[in-house]
Amino acid sequence: MENRTTVLYVDDNPKSSRLLSSVLEECGFRLITMNDPIEALALCKGTHFDLALLDYEMPLMSGSELAQEIKFVVPDVPVVLLSGRQSLPKSKLAFVDAHFGFGTSLDDLLWTMRILVQPKLVTVHTHYADQRAMTQWADST
């Protein structure tokens, strides 16, 4: 079984898509690359991925609109939005876990992607007395 993080990357610009896909694969990510946001949304319904990486400006559906739709289909999947702008209105980032705009370093993007897909740690506190009580209850039933 492969242990790499699977990224759904949607960008309507094939050159940008090929370049960033190549870099991300070299950094250990597994990529599912799509150029059409509508097709990408359809793919979300039957394909497992750990993170969505979306271009902001695309025809037919913006990256922020696609982020919203993805969150409805797979709410626990983090969404990273890429844009050529330094900032976007908060309304455009409502369904986005991270936004990277003009001037972003590749290291910042990679670090954030890795942080967003880290498994959530669940802390379980058990006490000996609680365990003993549960055992006694189980034995009595």
d(CA 90, CA 140): 56
Structure tokens at 111: 């670090």
Measured in degrees and rounded to the nearest 5, phi and psi for residue 33 equal -105, 130
Q: Which residues contact 106 (CB under 8 A, 6 or more apart)?
A: 23
The identity of residue 15, as a single letter, is K
Looking at the domain 6-140, which fold is it? Rossmann fold (3.40.50)
- Predicted model pTM: 0.81
pLDDT digits (tens, 9 = 90+) for 74-83: 999 999 999 9
> Pick the residue with more confidence: 48 or 132?
48
Q: Where are the beta strands (DSSP E) in the chain?
A: 6-10, 30-34, 51-55, 79-82, 98-100
pLDDT digits (tens, 9 = 90+) for 115-127: 999 865 544 444 4
pLDDT digits (tens, 9 = 90+) for 34-46: 999 999 999 998 9
Residue count of the chain: 141
